[in-house]
Amino acid sequence: MQQLIECVPNFSEGNDLNLIKQITNEIESVEGVRLLNVDPGKATNRTVVTMVGEPAAVIEAAYLAIKKAGELIDMSKHKGEHPRMGATDVCPLIPIANISMEETAKFAQQLAKRVGEELNIPVYLYEAAQPDTARNNLSVIRAGEYEGFFKKIKEPQWKPDFGPAEFDTKRGGTVIGARDFLVAYNINLNTTSTSRANAIAFDVREAGRMIEVDGKKINQPGTLKAVKAIGWYIEEYGVAQISMNLTNINVTPVHIAFDEVCNKATARGIRVTGSELVGLIPLKAMTDAGKYFLQKQQRSTGVSEKELIKIAIKSMGLDELGPFKPEERIIEYMLNDKTSNRLVSMTLTDFANETASESPAPGGGSISAYVGALGISLGTMVANLSSHKKGWDDRWKEFSDWAEKGEAYKNELVKLVDADTAAFNKIMQAFALPKATPEEKAARTQAIQEATKYAIEIPFKVMETACASMEVIKQMVIEGNPNSVTDAGVGALCARSAVIGAYMNVRINATGYDDKAFVTDIIARGKEIESKAVALEAEIIGLVNEKIGI
């Protein structure tokens, strides 16, 4: 399994786009690294860059970028709203796939050692990469900022982890570490007052503020866990913002942070006008936000991923200061392999034309998956219509839950459209392998068998999913909006067809697989699913006919 880490270096330059491009060119020169996002800020005079790849490649790209930033940026002339201490101010590594935090921390330590020793830049470790818990907090390390580090670096307790204990006037110092996925998020206010913005920031941030009680100063924590926040004025936009780092979005999601700032701002006579994402965000954070705001409106959450994202953008005003393009801001979308969903990205006409062409794929398996997707889409539609039906206001959550189930089945079946064609292509590729030597023949035979097994498993998954989706369809015939009962009925016809069609593919592909025990088992299980789907279809159509009445 491929290991993937994300790296999000912050460079102390946000205005000179040519200079920024020179830095990102270094990143793009490394094979195996994808530059996902470059987000410059004029007022902060800071650019947040996001890249992803295998660890060794990412470390090389980060090293080259840090080196180039040190050559181009003069910190003695730097001014900006954001706290900073170096040309490359901070460079975190984040585990993304098939890699632990412990492993990621070791890679961060390797990068820090190389930067300190080869580039002679003072480097501090932070978060998971820093073994000394007394100095693993970024804000503590950076306290005093660039201007204060000339003195701070001479203190024994602030000796760098790597590199010289001499502060570099031009390049400053760098902080390198490993951390969980962090969302940098700014909330816009209808005020120009930094002090008012700071007051709200102190209300919500976990660290809170110091207050005096009975002549003693004590800490009053803020209302949001895993949140760091400060207030600042952004001249570029002419407004104050709450600048937040959400260090664990499982603890405090973006939408909760937004709502809480709205509440605290209102209490202080200030209004939130929108918000701004810096860098990238996980897909789940956006879909969870969409569901949250729909639930507040007592509307069904069983809608498409695209619709959930749209609701999240509008509810949090993420497009107030500029366009919010999901394909450029959501990490999963940036990592998508566009060839893996070639068929489902087509128009209906192009898909039909491709199916009708002389190419053997897409074939019956892909069409079965798509027919199943259409079937449960009809069931989901009835659930959504029922959730919003006049006079059924007290039942919106019941139908919303059914719609969410239907949406999940639909999404799975849509993925299987391209997966079935990919399975067919794997078989063709295996048959095309060389067979001149005994070794090549053995490797070719093994590849054919592995591809054949995969080509059995994909349509079997279509069978399971399409049959399971009939539970939603049946319930919508029984409980759903009576005006849409025939829509659910057509959904049942599609689901049954998907099961029968996929089972044909399971059987034909099973004829080429040598593991007879596996074949016997999956054919028997497939027969049970087919029988169940046929019986369900008959029951559902009977119920539909009863409700039609003529």
Helix (H, G, I), strand (E, B) or coil at 424: helix
CA distances from 347 to 221, 415, 420 (A): 53, 16, 19
Strand 10-11, strand 46-53: pairing: antiparallel
C-alpha angle with apex 297: 247 to 295, nearest 5 degrees?
A: 50
> CA–CA separation, 466 vs 456, rounded Å?
16
For residue 142, the one-letter residue type is R
CA distances from 268 to 190, 191, 198, 206 (A): 12, 11, 12, 19
CA atoms within 13 A on the CB side of 115: 38
Beta carbons within 8 Å of 88's beta carbon, 6+ residues apart: 9, 10, 11, 12, 65, 66, 69, 70, 174
Helix (H, G, I), strand (E, B) or coil at 96: strand
> CA–CA separation, 77 vs 12, rounded Å?
11
Q: Give the long-range contacts of residues 327-333, CB within 8 A, separation 24 or more.
A: 328/37, 329/37, 329/277, 329/280, 329/281, 330/280, 330/281, 330/282, 330/283, 330/286, 331/6, 331/36, 331/50, 331/52, 331/280, 331/281, 331/282, 331/283, 332/282, 332/283, 333/283
Closest by alpha carbon to 522, among 438, 463, 434?
Answer: 463
Catalytic one of 39, 82, 255, 288: 82
Catalytic one of 89, 168, 420, 487: 420
78 is catalytic: no
Take residue 542 and report the two structure tokens written for it.
């009977």
> CA–CA separation, 520 vs 136, rounded Å?
58
Active-site residue list: 82, 420
